[in-house]
Amino acid sequence: MENDAMRSIGEMARDSGLGVSALRFYDRAGVLVPARVDPATGYRWYGPGQLDEARLLVRLRRAGMPLADVRLVLAGWSGADAGLVRQLLQAHLRRLEAGLAEARAEFSAVRAHLEHRENPMSAPRTATARLTVSAPALAAALDAVRFAAGTAPELPALGGVLFDVEDGALRLAATDRYRLAVARAAAEGYDGPRASAVVPSPLVDAMRALLDGDGRATLTLDGGQVVLESGDRQTAGRCLDHDFPDYRRLVRLPAGRRAPVGVAALRRALESGPVRTDVREEDGAPCEISVLRVTADGTVSVCEDGDEGEGRIAVNRDFLLDALAAGGGDQLVLEFGAPDAPVAVRRPADEETFSLLMPVRLDA
């Protein structure tokens, strides 16, 4: 077969929706092996019929089919007898249906328990608070958390930033379930009970635009209303009528291994290093995954293709790049715990401003 009748790995990635790194992984796993590999360069070429197989692979993985079953489906896809393929599809569908039935039963029990609870899940937003804070400090705190605010319409409670006032400090928190960011700014003028409100993201952005200089800003939380005054300018709006999860519980993690990183160098390594393609759990969109490793001397590196050793942590590359940008410094500290524990991105001298990123499972 001539090369002009075949697709290069780049063309296959473009036409199938699988990234180049994903195609290399599925080749190594024996799932989608190229029709030809150049013996001199190692470059992969795919036959015309393999495009349909690649697109089928995308669908099966999106449906959560285990890799072992995917391999068998593709092996039987072009055969005259499609019986095995049908059996595998039906078996996976039965697993999904059984899992859904079990999930429905558990969710019903959880809802019943929730309806009988007497205490709300979070502190009521009844206190009125008026406080002053440094405009640059508030701007920096907003910059540190805004990237993590959720956008899923089915979870409106996460579509903003929590403003939490207690013990002479203003704490901000935002999460989209897969990342969480927390920041702190010193506050003055309020010594009452804890007051909190969830400020919708568009209003957060309007508040940030107001904080473009030095001086003090005045923040007022009054029931369902929030007002920010800076100089002779003001922005105000309604808060979200939803409870925010208790972020203080979410950050109680066992101490992990800390590794100082230069932000510019790590950013270059992430942007130029190998990536894997995965499907985002939250919206089904493809995303790029970087695999990190901490060496014995505390150096964080981006794993090359084929590095399958122990101690690897996979993260959504864009999420990590966002967290590095929000870190607000040339030097940050990454903290790694267990393989399935969040990765913390911290400032060296500010333990109360940080972000957490959920890792990605390495079972592609």
Domain range list for the chain:
3-94, 128-249, 253-357
H-state helical runs in 124-233: 135-145, 201-210
- CA 93 to the chain's CA centroid: 28
Between 311 and 88, residue with greater pLDDT:
88
- CA 355 to the chain's CA centroid: 11
Task: State phi, psi for 146 to the nearest 5 degrees.
Answer: -55, -35
Instruction: Look at residue 1 in the predicted model and tell me its pLDDT.
Output: 43
Chain mean pLDDT for the chain: 86
Instruction: Look at residue 167 in the predicted model and tell me its pLDDT.
Output: 87
> If one looks up domain 128-249 in CATH, what number appears?
3.10.150.10
Quick one: CA dihedral 122, 123, 129, 132, positive or negative? negative
253-357 belongs to which homologous superfamily? DNA Polymerase III, subunit A, domain 2 (3.10.150.10)
Lowest mean pLDDT among 202-206, 301-305, 331-335: 301-305
Between CA 362 and CA 276 the distance in angstroms is 10
Place of tokens 């505390």: 298
Q: Average pLDDT of 256-279?
A: 86
Instruction: Look at residue 225 in the predicted model and tell me its pLDDT.
Output: 92
Lowest mean pLDDT among 79-93, 135-149, 300-314: 300-314
Q: Average pLDDT of 43-66?
A: 90
CATH 1.10.1660.10 matches 3-94 = yes
- CB count within 10 Å of CB 84 equals 14
**Whole-Å CA distances, 232 to 29, 215, 216, 229, 342:** 63, 12, 11, 7, 42
Q: Would you say 355 and 183 are in contact if contact means Cβ atoms under 8 Å apart?
A: no
pTM over 0.85: no
Between CA 296 and CA 318 the distance in angstroms is 26
Tens digits of residue pLDDT in 73-127 = 888 887 656 778 888 899 999 999 998 888 888 888 887 877 766 444 444 445 7
**253-357 has the same fold as 128-249:** yes
User: Does residue 290 have a pLDDT over 70?
Assistant: yes
Give the CA radius of gyration of the chain.
25
Q: Would you say 69 and 88 are in contact if contact means Cβ atoms under 8 Å apart?
A: yes
Residue 236: its H or E element: strand 233-238
